[in-house]
Amino acid sequence: MALREILRYPDKRLKEPGEPVLEVTGEIHALLEDMALTMYAAPGVGLAATQIGIPLRIFVLDLTSGEEPSDLRVFINPDVVEHRGQIVWEEGCLSFPGIREDIERAEWIKIRALDKDGKPFEMEGDGLFAVAVQHEMDHLDGVLLVDRVSLLRRRLIHRAMIKKNRSKELPEPAEAGAL
């Protein structure tokens, strides 16, 4: 297993949509292990393959925020099949260290995906689960946190991230719950 570099905005690769996984292979299993290790080390509660420069429709979640035991979930080729309600949630993102924004999302979702072994499953939920899934699905579609805020906030975030990247600061530790 190896830690992977998490791409930081404004890296153009973050805007690339993920391609469907055609077969769950040993390479995919190794990628999933690397993604989990990278997510936990960040620390975060979710990570999409596109955030580490791999344009595949895969993300991992663990909503326990580092508590034991972990509850790692793998979503391959996910699709939200049902959603309802609205909620505003303050979100962070591992690709935007130190930035938190209120984002409007569906309050409840049902998702269909393949697990780590390529077997189909469905899950449904609300709260942090619904928000985290939608956040990671956005990454798989090339949609970023800045795409969900006002033009003024987008410009401010863009400037802040450019400044952070230019100053070559050490990455800020993510607050628990960054996606």
Q: Is 136 a catalytic site residue?
A: yes
Catalytic entry in 107, 136, 169, 175: 136
Residue with tokens 């090339």: 142
Are the beta carbons of 132 and 45 closer than 8 angstroms? yes
List of residues 6+ apart from 153 with CB closer than 8 A:
101, 146
Whole-angstrom Cα distance, residue 61 to residue 74?
7
Are the beta carbons of 149 and 101 closer than 8 angstroms? yes
List Cα–Cα distances, 88 to 91, 98, 131, 149, 150, in angstroms: 9, 19, 9, 12, 14
DSSP symbols for 21-49 = PS---HHHHHHHHHHHHHHHHTT-SEEEG
Are the beta carbons of 179 and 94 closer than 8 angstroms? yes
CA triple 86-87-90, angle to 5 deg: 150
Please give the positions annotated as active site: 136
